[in-house]
């Protein structure tokens, strides 16, 4: 069961996020095989980024935490809140239909 990680940016992180974007992408490229899906979160289309979401190919929260903690965004303190959850994809095209 994958681990989904919601990361909420701290206030004023926009400039730091932009500054570290290339380093963040470079890191993500090294762990692509460990990521089911990842990307920025916005409150509404067109608004600035408010955080990040990662779904890691692991059922181990400690491993998901380690993957996140090696990210330049994490190391720079961009995130003010991080929530980890076990995720069961039960239906949809990403899971190939349905699990029942």
> Can you list the domains of the chain with their CATH numbers?
3-98 (3.30.70.1060)
Q: For the segment 61-73, what is each residue's pLDDT rounded down to a tens digit?
A: 999 999 999 999 9
Neighbours of 91 (CB within 10 A): 11
Q: For the segment 3-34, what is each residue's pLDDT rounded down to a tens digit?
A: 999 999 999 999 999 999 999 999 999 999 99
For residues 52 and 41, what is the distance between their CA atoms, to the nearest angstrom? 5
Say whether pLDDT at 47 is over 80.
no
Give me Rg for the CA atoms of the chain. 14
Residue 12 or residue 43, greater confidence: 12
Q: Are 23 and 76 in contact (CB under 8 A)?
A: no
């Amino acid at each position: 069961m994958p681990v989904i990680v919601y990361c909420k940016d701290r206030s004023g992180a926009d400039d730091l996020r932009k500054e570290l974007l290339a380093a963040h992408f470079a890191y993500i490229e090294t762990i692509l095989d460990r990521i089911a899906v990842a990307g920025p979160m916005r409150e509404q289309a067109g608004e600035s980024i408010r955080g990040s979401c990662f779904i890691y190919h692991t059922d181990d929260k400690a491993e998901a935490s380690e993957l996140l903690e090696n990210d330049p965004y994490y190391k720079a303190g961009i995130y003010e809140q991080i929530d980890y959850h076990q995720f069961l994809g039960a239906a949809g095209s990403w899971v190939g239909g349905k699990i029942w």
